Amino acid sequence: MNVVQIIGGALNSGAGRGTRAVHEALLKEGIRSRILGRVEPDLPEDLCARRVPLLQRIPVGVKNRLYMWYLMRRFGEIPASFHPISHGLRLHNSPEYRQADVIHIQWAHAPTLGPAFWRSIRRERRPVVWTLRDMWPFTGGCHFSGTCEKYASGCGQCPILGGGEETITSEDVAFKVKHYGPQSVFVAISETIAEQARKSTVLRERDIRVIPNSVEMSQLRAMDKAQARSALGLPANKFVIASGALNLADPRKGADIMRHILSVYRDDKNVHWCLFGKGLAELVDPVPENCTGFGLIRDDVILNQIYS
């Protein structure tokens, strides 16, 4: 069996780690799995992951920047987590896609999946699996809607776009409804995302299953706590609290709560913080003396030591 895993981001991201775990498990079972998308360069050859060439990414990137510039000129500041379908890569023309028996879209976003790709999906007779790692596949352009539930009524009057009359988000929803095709099935990584998908205009008629993120147990095993602290340079005799996120300063990841807790325990000599992810300086400035920041973790050995 041939499977193509389509992803719109790096494999060292949260979505990327989940994708890689599934992909490597399939390879171990003898299934010919291939990763295709906007992955990072210099990945091991035996990982079977191909980065879309720069010459294909550049024109799409320029068109999307111009599109988002137009939206900002019209509506004001727009968060990076919002992007309706506009211009995307033609991944359906790749040999990995054409040779696949199963098409697995692991993380979807607009600069990767453009209108031509969606039209191809609509015509597909092969199974197409969509893993719902966030809300973008069933909203009018946002990856996370916050308190907004307009995705349940077809979007429109989007708060991100000022809340006034606009057809951009409602047309995005209508486009997705039209192009998913009968062969598409949906898997959410959490009950929360599954519940949101079932409420949405786009996916409420679809069967939504839940399969949590995979973990490679051979890489993440509990080790001796004292050895882990020594390897990381953490104090041996203090109460260590670890917390991590892709971006520690992201409000959606609880930045306000973490900022408050760090302030409360700033002078507590019995507590030491172990924080990993980017954005520590944005989260708290100055960084407390009882805090060690490890930045964005790309090494599973270090991640294993932190969890231990």
- Residue 111's Cα: distance from chain center in Å? 13
Per-residue pLDDT band at 218 (split at 50, 70, 90):
confident
Cβ neighbours of 201 (radius 10 Å): 20
Asked if 239 and 265 count as a contact pair (C-beta separation under 8 A), the reply is no
Distance, in Å, from the CA atom of 30 to the CA atom of 277, rounded to the nearest integer, reads 34
Distance, in Å, from the CA atom of 9 to the CA atom of 241, rounded to the nearest integer, reads 29
The one-letter amino acid at 254 = G
Q: What is the pLDDT of residue 14?
A: 83
The percentage of residues in the chain with a pLDDT greater than 90, rounded to a whole number, is 89
Look-up: residue for tokens 């057809």?
Answer: 167
Per-residue pLDDT band at 214 (split at 50, 70, 90):
confident
Average pLDDT over residues 137-142: 97
Distance, in Å, from the CA atom of 261 to the CA atom of 259, rounded to the nearest integer, reads 6
CA angle 53, 85, 23 (to 5 degrees): 50
Per-residue pLDDT band at 222 (split at 50, 70, 90):
confident
At how many degrees (to 10) do helices 168-179 and 115-123 cross? 30
The one-letter amino acid at 75 = F
For residue 57, count CB atoms less than 10 angstroms from its CB and return exposed for 0-12, middle for 13-18, buried for 19 or more: middle
What average pLDDT is seen over the chain?
A: 94
CATH 3.40.50.2000 intervals, the chain: 225-307
pLDDT, tens only, 225-256: 999 999 999 999 999 999 999 899 998 889 99
Distance, in Å, from the CA atom of 211 to the CA atom of 180, rounded to the nearest integer, reads 20
Q: CB-based contacts of 94: which residues, under 8 Å, 6+ apart?
A: 4, 36, 50
Q: What is the pLDDT of residue 219?
A: 73
Q: What is the pLDDT of residue 62?
A: 96
pLDDT, tens only, 156-213: 999 999 999 999 999 999 999 999 989 999 999 999 999 999 999 999 999 999 999 8
Q: What is the pLDDT of residue 215?
A: 76
pLDDT, tens only, 45-62: 999 999 999 999 999 999
Give me 299's structure tokens: 């090494």
pLDDT, tens only, 1-34: 999 999 999 998 889 989 999 999 999 999 999 9
Distance, in Å, from the CA atom of 259 to the CA atom of 285, rounded to the nearest integer, reads 10
Classify domain 2-210 at the CATH topology level.
Answer: Rossmann fold (3.40.50)
pLDDT, tens only, 265-302: 988 999 999 999 999 999 998 999 999 999 988 888 89
Judged against a pLDDT cut of 90, whether residue 221 lies above it is answered with no
Cβ neighbours of 101 (radius 10 Å): 12
CATH annotation of 225-307: 3.40.50.2000
Q: What is the pLDDT of residue 216?
A: 74
Distance, in Å, from the CA atom of 210 to the CA atom of 101, rounded to the nearest integer, reads 22
HEC sequence for the chain: CEEEEEECCCCCCHHHHHHHHHHHHHHHCCCEEEEEECCCCCCCHHHCEEECCHHHHHHHHHHHHHHHHHHHHHHCCCCCCECCCCCCECHHHCHHHHHCCEEEEEECCCCCECHHHHHHHHHCCCCEEEEECCCHHHCCCECCCCCCCHHHHCCCCCHHHCCCCCCHHHHHHHHHHHHCCCCEEEEECCHHHHHHHHHCCCCCCCCEEECCCCCCCCCCCCCCHHHHHHHHCCCCCCEEEEEEEEECCCHHHCHHHHHHHHHHCCCCCCEEEEEEEECHHHHCCCCCCCEEECCCCCCHHHHHHHHC
